[in-house]
Chains A and B, each alone.
Chain A
């Protein structure tokens, strides 16, 4: 119900504007979050039926700094059909290594504990949007 309301409001506000962010903060926090621990990852990513995009990033990586806002935007547009979990690879090195992260940034789509697909490196917004849309579609099957 809350979702429908938001969607209506978003559509209305979108008219005449090129870019729009969801302004309901609490809902956004559930969809986009920074992983705090391995337990947090297990709970919110591995055990999630909703597909989750895991954004493996590093604070010292410039392309990561460019990618994160782009993917946040795009996940926001998906309005709940896919979530975003951000993992700082220095804070959670073992986790990153377990997922074979070498170069960053890496986006990994997970659903029910399984990796569906991944994208390595910074891409432009259209490419990311298409990739996310495809991931959402694949997850629904």
Chain B
């Protein structure tokens, strides 16, 4: 190993902090690697309990050069821009519906201004980046915009913009570096394809887009692109929404099909090349029929999964155990090294969601610096897929309930419903559906709730708290619904799957 300058981090600490005398043998009480949802929540909670905290954040540019500011995936290339684009596409639908409601708008050939949408979304993101920086400053979290790597189990080494190498020590280290989209190992993948990292700041109109991948990222992207007037095709390797309830996933795919989104089932891409006219030729084959095909697109978006960013951490220097590309932790987010922890998307086998990372990060900080013993509960985490008819769920899928309880010990109540607002514009209600999975005995504890329809996330959020409190079918039935809403349908569930009765309602209220 070559010799390099070892300078104490004290030389990088801005003048305003020079008054602090080092209380311990370490420069900091906590170093957080990663300024995203989990990292920032942990860092801010820690300073609230008196810790001296240093937070590293760094974004490696994508193959096409996209990068972003502090705040992590959610703020920059995840939840936030996704929700804004989803909203943009819903508003396009709303213009058409408005005509049915009597508005004198010309809804013929309406087209979104993609550049304007991207600019608005990016302006919002940048304002959040700034607010994040101000918040870190106000809360006295030291922040460095550079990659941090392990030098040993208490030491992080980094190279900021000035080019000099520094090391800094800490009693505790929390790894919260998150993940990034995967690229397939095929010719042209990186040169010609983009990912969710790029789409939200894409400087040209996506046009005819091939979305490879049928997880929620792929489906959400395909749906907002369709809603904005573009022409997406979804290439599915095997099944849609792996890990989610099968029936609901198939319903969601059918809903997308009804909206003229093309699917290429059981297909995988083989290569991407650029034609002379600038468009992209994708060669792929069907794994069921072995048929080889090709097609031409303007944009290819890889949404085939995300990998944990362990590659630049030099975890070996600290001896931290990993599995695949994620860090292994126990029920208290501790790694195999006593003073090193991990939160968020980087940890193995936990839901990759912002609110999960935030709560886990906060609870961890409280355990480290406030003497708390409370651990993160990763069960019954509600989630939503933001497609035009959204799908939200909390608790078990039907298959999970059958597996854990046995098919004879569960009752599934279900029904299709018709949102009041859909009648006038004659919007399709074909996929407005919900179900409750419950125990069959006693008060019938609810094991899982599934809802497809408008504002699914808003509908399910309250029920998630109810489920955590031990919601039973008895209580649900005795809850008076709010009318007219779609959420009230949960209080009106009477038809069981077991009975075989038609779950499609004839009329509204009776």
Contact = CB atoms under 8 A, between A and B. Distances in A.
A79 interface: no
Interface stretch (B50-58, B126-134, B429-437): B126-134
A102 B123 CA distance: 16
Interface stretch (A35-43, A66-74, A89-97): A89-97
Interface in A75-94: 89-90, 93-94
A58 interface: yes
A61 interface: yes
A90 B134 contact: no
B253 to A, nearest CB: 37
Interface string B129-150: 1100110011000000000000
A62 to B, nearest CB: 8
B491 interface: no
A60 B127 CA distance: 7
B214 to A, nearest CB: 34
A102 B122 CA distance: 19
Contacts of B127: 58, 60-61
B13 to A, nearest CB: 13
Contact of A89 (B123, B130, B137, B138): B130
Most buried by B among A60, A61, A94, A102: A60
Interface in B6-52: 14
B126 A58 contact: yes
Nearest to A97: B137
Contact of A60 (B14, B123, B134): B123
A58 B127 CA distance: 9
B129 to A, nearest CB: 8
B94 to A, nearest CB: 24
B122 A60 contact: yes
Most buried by B among A89, A90, A93, A94: A93
Contacts of A104: 130
B133 A93 contact: yes
Secondary structure at the B interface, as helix, strand, loop or mixed, is helix
Interface residues of A, number: 13
Contact of A90 (B130, B137, B138): B130
B133 A60 contact: no
Contacts of A101: 134
Contact of A97 (B69, B129, B133): B133
Interface string B60-86: 000000000100000000000000000
Nearest to B122: A60
B145 to A, nearest CB: 9
Most buried by A among B129, B130, B134, B137: B130
Nearest to B128: A60
Nearest to B124: A60
Nearest to A104: B130
Contact of B134 (A59, A94, A97): A97
B355 to A, nearest CB: 26
Interface in A36-58: 58
Interface string A97-129: 100011010000000000000000000000000
A112 B138 CA distance: 27
Contacts of B134: 97, 101-102
Contacts of B130: 58, 89-90, 104
A119 to B, nearest CB: 18
Contacts of A94: 14
A94 B12 CA distance: 13
Contacts of A90: 69, 126, 129-130
B503 to A, nearest CB: 48
B95 to A, nearest CB: 24
B137 to A, nearest CB: 5
Contacts of B126: 58-60, 90
A47 to B, nearest CB: 19
Contacts of A62: 123
Nearest to B137: A97
Contacts of A102: 134, 138
A73 B274 CA distance: 50
Interface of B: 14, 69, 122-124, 126-127, 129-130, 133-134, 137-138
Given A60-B122, A93-B133, A104-B130, 16 more contacts: A58-B126, A58-B130, A60-B123, A60-B126, A60-B127, A61-B123, A61-B127, A62-B123, A89-B130, A90-B69, A90-B126, A90-B130, A94-B14, A97-B137, A102-B134, A102-B138
26 contacts: A58-B126, A58-B127, A58-B130, A59-B126, A60-B122, A60-B123, A60-B124, A60-B126, A60-B127, A61-B123, A61-B127, A62-B123, A89-B130, A90-B69, A90-B126, A90-B129, A90-B130, A93-B133, A94-B14, A97-B133, A97-B134, A97-B137, A101-B134, A102-B134, A102-B138, A104-B130
